[in-house]
Amino acid sequence: MVRDGDTVALEGFTHLIPFAAGHEIIRQRRRNLTLIRMTPDLIYDQLIGAGCAAKLVFSWGGNPGVGSLHRLRDAVENDWPAPLALEEHAHAGMAAAYAAGASHLPFGVLRGYLGTDLPKYNPKIKFIECPFTGEKLAAVPAHRPDVTVVHAQKADRKGNVLMWGVVGVQKEAVLAAKRSIVTVEEIVDRLDAPPNAVVLPSWVVGAVCAVKGGAFPSYAQGYYPRNNAFYKQWDGIAREREGFQQWIERHVMGTKDFDGFQRSLEAAVKHA
Amino acid sequence: MVRDGDTVALEGFTHLIPFAAGHEIIRQRRRNLTLIRMTPDLIYDQLIGAGCAAKLVFSWGGNPGVGSLHRLRDAVENDWPAPLALEEHAHAGMAAAYAAGASHLPFGVLRGYLGTDLPKYNPKIKFIECPFTGEKLAAVPAHRPDVTVVHAQKADRKGNVLMWGVVGVQKEAVLAAKRSIVTVEEIVDRLDAPPNAVVLPSWVVGAVCAVKGGAFPSYAQGYYPRNNAFYKQWDGIAREREGFQQWIERHVMGTKDFDGFQRSLEAAVKHA
Amino acid sequence: MPDAGYSSDEMMTIAAARMIRNGASLFVGIGLPSAAANLARLTHAPETVLIYESGTIGTKPSVLPLSIGDGELSETAESVVSVPEMFAYWLQGGRIDLGFLGAAQIDRFANINTTVIGDYRKPSTRLPGAGGAPEIAASCKEVLIALRHNKRAFVNKLDFLTSSGHMEGGDSRERMKLPGKGPTAVITDLGILTPDPVTRELTLTSLHPGVTAEKVVESTGWPLKVAPKLETTAPPSETELRVLRDLNERTKRAHAGQA
Amino acid sequence: MPDAGYSSDEMMTIAAARMIRNGASLFVGIGLPSAAANLARLTHAPETVLIYESGTIGTKPSVLPLSIGDGELSETAESVVSVPEMFAYWLQGGRIDLGFLGAAQIDRFANINTTVIGDYRKPSTRLPGAGGAPEIAASCKEVLIALRHNKRAFVNKLDFLTSSGHMEGGDSRERMKLPGKGPTAVITDLGILTPDPVTRELTLTSLHPGVTAEKVVESTGWPLKVAPKLETTAPPSETELRVLRDLNERTKRAHAGQA
């Protein structure tokens, strides 16, 4: 469902990051993507390093608590493996842009960006006046991805999706998109969602696909914890181009699916 | 905490309507209030008929599924017991105004009011242009009540509040207000809130007060159902001024608190 | 029609229910829209997704709710969201197939009034007002309207335009950039009116059994256009009548014994 | 300071933690802010409400999270909200007492850069970027900033202004109508700087034990003002050191054994 040149959002705020779906995009050798994501994280470091991206729309591009995303930096600083255009926001602006997209509004309004240099480099940040008070507020155009991909804990057999814990902007990202894909830890007979839970009814979701462990090395609350050690290891894997390329070839391109990827990683650990 | 002349929002969308708090405002003979509420319902019919209100900010003023709010109509059509200024919106505009208030934005934006006569009579509905696409969108000023009152199912001993089911605009109304009061069905040792539940942490709530049954004749999910029969009876009680006044005198002014009100209503049913 | 075996209100509800496509997402108001939507769900359209503005999505009530937020709606819903989310992400989001409205007054272009009879500032009758209707009328992909047919309701000029139909007809709705297509049918106790594809003026296209075109024209406050090929609405089937009456009976019992 | 019995980073974290008033609501970033906030919560400020931008409100983690959304944050939170709600209703809503930021560069008016070193379009070092910082800096009632003190960080001119401090000093922040008061202290591994009440220029007001004013001035990329009455930061107490080290030890163990 992802095509070359698409604008794609893979969301999940530290939690439920759709790594399995990201790997599949790499395996399918998609090119020229505009990638949207608040926190690019390891998943976009991999997509960028693998040459899938032409542009990144984001607000914080680091390896949380560890340091840099070396593939992102290499693309920005040295155009490797290809130049990467940046459309840079702050989190508040990204959140407002997704919410506007979900709301079918052309723009979102926020009290933001005042005094910062971001509007100088991102023409999509403008300032408007309140029609009642004259106050100056920031405006950002709505995000409307061609495809949004998120990972969730459960779906029922009809395709209704349930997620809980840190839910980030996943709901907004799905509702803002033209098409959407949800990978889930498991498909169950009954969702048994608590009242007011975050549920995506089947009729607003394009496709649902069970991928156990599909958020690794991020986490799925109630299923497995964040693999903080892998996040730390990534710093070494991605620091040099060669090491990164070997890793991607061996564990992503060299495997058929996410299950294969996980087995390949385990084998590597055993032989280390 | 409610003073004469205040702008007051008692919210609860068909569910968890803070009737007990409304009665207390009537008992305290508050005057000159600006009442905000999406659906005035019986609670505002009572406040208006009792002479507490100078202005009503609303979007739908009926007795749901039954018919008119006769006290509201009498105030608008005949200035009884006092003239009532109207600031009239649609639901979408009211919801956007509360959300803007909770967000500390001076106004909310919506795709609304296009083609309708409402902007002709409500100068607080304006139209703005999207700075990116030039599209015409409606803008409404944020609601910032002096006091918001809501009813919820539970609070813990620290004052954290949990509500579930139809949660309406209660969270937004509380967060938009300068002061807030929450009545609850019960105070418990532990909230045991499910993940992502609607919780108001104690530090954003002004006061919490246990009033068992305090949403009658609306309902508190998990505690008691909506008393649809009373909603139907209200049509007869409120149709004529005399009948309404007798009812308010006997059951509200003539009782000390909501418990007294409920006993007084029960006694009336037994003698009928 | 005392000997038809059904009332004209039943015919209206059943005719309205038939317009609901199975699987459609449906934004439902209280009263006839709710009855028709639930009738459809219990007969030919079991996969219909019922949405009430209280925030309840995909609800399956066993009785008709009196309010749009009765407890059963939230207990049987697939998802219950806040009211700001309902209006922003769901209705304005453009994901609702069909909106279903009632009205106190309607004009020839299916614009409707639910606000006042008489002058806004000194009304002879103050009606409940807009509620969710203006944005339902604007943002749902299609809109159905149901109301009883008489000259007080079908007026030459609205006292107040609460919710936009086809505005002044022709392409005036499109020019105003309202997102949805607007009203596609008006179902009454006498027949069915649909907008002319070009002028968008409401035209009588179907008569309920036993009703004459003259009766409908007489009950309309403007010179009503009548389609050259006028159809007759199929009478209620046994199943439709039985399911509707059962639903109404269950509803009556449920809303009685409490006060 | 090899014989002080604590490191300069420990002094910095502890000095930062002391600035947190018990009961305050605190918007916390990862790294030193998170360590200081949790240290405060585990010592003198048990009622501190910790808020991470992942949507977790009132969390009580037993170890320091590596990311701002680790599972323990949501498991121990009083409430977990969506990210759009966090930024709109909570941060922008103006209900957070204290924001706590780090920085790669800071200028004399406590404006900070976390975006790039060098030219934006051809940076020598691409940093992670803004994240939540610009609106934390704008909307929290007060802001604390913590970073190591050296000339690469304390610069005469920022390469990029990511988050607004006191802008050009004086009343320039107020004139820009930023909602919060802005930075009230900068805590480093050498001492504490606070903005002059009038000019808003950062002034050295406290030295950590064993540090000289000359050393701080030398480590600053502009001619640093030094307060006439320079205080000395109280050294870490035994309790502070023990709780911080326990916390770091627990954290290290928790983040190791998984991959």
Complex ipTM value? 0.97
- Contact partners, residue D103, CB within 8 Å, separation at least 6: D112, D113, D114, D145, D147, D153, D163
**Chain A residues within 8 A of B197 when measuring between CB atoms:** 194-196
- 3-class secondary structure, D173: helix
Distance CA D233, CA D231 (A): 6
pLDDT tens column, B222-252: 999 999 999 999 999 999 999 999 999 999 9
Phi, psi of D188 (to 5 degrees): -125, 180
Interface of A with D in 54-113 (CB under 8 A): 58-62, 64-66, 68-69, 72-73, 76-77, 88-92, 95-96, 98-99, 110-113
CB contact under 8 A, D258 and A90: no
Amino acid of residue D48: T
Mapping DSSP onto H, E and C, the string for chain B reads CCCCCCEEEECCCCECCCHHHHHHHHHCCCCCEEEECCCCHHHHHHHHHCCCEEEEEECCCEECCCEECHHHHHHHHHCCCCCCEEEECCHHHHHHHHHHHHCCCCEEEECCCCCCCHHHHCCCCEEEECCCCCCEEEEEECCCCCEEEEEEEEEECCCCEEECCCCCCHHHHHHHCCEEEEEEEEEECCCCCCCCCEEECHHHCCEEEECCCCCCCCEECCCECCCHHHHHHHHHHHHCHHHHHHHHHHHHHCCCCHHHHHHHHHHHHHHC
**Phi-psi category of residue A196: left, alpha or beta, with phi > 0 → left and psi -120 to 50 → alpha:** left
Q: Could you list the residue range(s) of the whole structural domain that residue D79 is in?
A: 8-255
In CATH, what number is assigned to the domain containing residue D74? 3.40.1080.10
Distance CA D138, CA D133 (A): 8
Partner residue facing C84 (CB), from B65, B98, B117: B98
Confidence tier at C29 by pLDDT (50, 70, 90) = confident
Residue D2 placed within a domain? no
Interface of C with B in 36-75 (CB under 8 A): 53-56, 65-71, 73-75
Residue C1 placed within a domain? no
Number of domains in chain D: 1
Q: What is the pLDDT of residue D157?
A: 98
Residue C36 placed within a domain? yes
Chain A and chain C share a number of CB contacts under 8 A equal to 38
Active site residue C135: no
Confidence tier at C2 by pLDDT (50, 70, 90) = very low
Mean pLDDT of A132-141: 97
CB contact under 8 A, C78 and A201: yes
pLDDT tens column, A221-260: 999 999 999 999 999 999 999 999 999 999 999 999 999 9
- Going by DSSP bridges, is the β-strand pair C142-146/C183-187 parallel, antiparallel, or unpaired? parallel
pLDDT tens column, C123-137: 999 999 999 999 999
Q: What is the pLDDT of residue D31?
A: 84
Residue B102 has pLDDT above 70, yes or no: yes
Q: What is the pLDDT of residue A93?
A: 98
**Chain B residues within 8 A of A195 when measuring between CB atoms:** 164-165, 194, 197, 221
- Contact partners, residue A237, CB within 8 Å, separation at least 6: A243, A244, A247
- Quote the Cα angle for D83-D87-D91, to 5°: 135
Residue C245 placed within a domain? yes
Mean pLDDT of C60-78: 91
Residue C3 placed within a domain? no
Distance CA A8, CA A28 (A): 14
Q: What is the pLDDT of residue D3?
A: 65
CB contact under 8 A, C55 and B167: yes
Can you list the domains of chain A with their CATH numbers?
Answer: 7-88+144-228 (3.40.1080.10)
Residue C2 placed within a domain? no
Cα–Cα distance list, B182 to A90, B1, B214, D89, D119 (Å): 35, 12, 11, 18, 53
Q: Is B178 on the interface with A (CB under 8 A)?
A: no
Which tokens in the block code for residue B62? 């009926």
Residue C51 placed within a domain? yes
- Going by DSSP bridges, is the β-strand pair D225-232/D202-207 parallel, antiparallel, or unpaired? parallel
Partner residue facing A201 (CB), from C58, C93, C94: C58
- Going by DSSP bridges, is the β-strand pair C98-101/C142-146 parallel, antiparallel, or unpaired? parallel
